Structure 1
Amino acid sequence: MRISSPQKDALFVLLLIEEKGENDPFPATDLLMTVNKIRPWNKQVDASNFTRSCHKLAENGFVHRFRHPQSLRLAFKLTDLGRPVAEKRRAEWQRELKKDQ
């Protein structure tokens, strides 16, 4: 599977959340907001495209997909398969930051 830039960003955000000690699945709406905060304003991700992208990540084993039993709110959590992709994205971000300094 080819992983798009927004998908890599989503995995990266999930990795950072996991590293902060958060073990609960992260709500999709919050994930989208966070991804859009780290992307340039002209590369914002549309909600419907983002949701489809996250479903593809789940179908291919990069994230686990959850639904809250009462609110049916969609949430995601990083898997062992998604972790190396997220680590690679982190390295890309770090290279970009160093280049800008």
Structure 2
Amino acid sequence: FENFPFDLQDLRDLAGDLAIDGFDVLDANHYPLCLVSHVYEGRLRLLLNYRPDLFRPEQVGVIGDRLVRILETLTQDLTRTVAGLDVLADGERERLVVADGAA
């Protein structure tokens, strides 16, 4: 992890009368694909950043959909292990099976 959780109210208390009117964010990294997560207004937010010279938006969409499916499955059954997950979407397994029937 790059950062650690913090309490926003604690940060405000430390700032006292100091205020920030605005800021710009430049989010850049050198990784081909990067998952950014943070909590905003009590909800987990996920963002996939990617290098457009290596990934097409559709490819990143498939990866994002797969991640959401995995997280939803894990939260629906808290006894399920990651090893027991089927990460493929409907129809994907059939497309990946080679001629002899092995994936």
Give the TM-score of the pair, scaled to structure 2. 0.29
Larger gyration radius, structure 1 or structure 2 = 2
TM-score (norm. length: structure 1): 0.30
Which structure has more helix as a fraction of its residues?
1
Greater relative CO (CA pairs within 8 A, separation 6+):
1
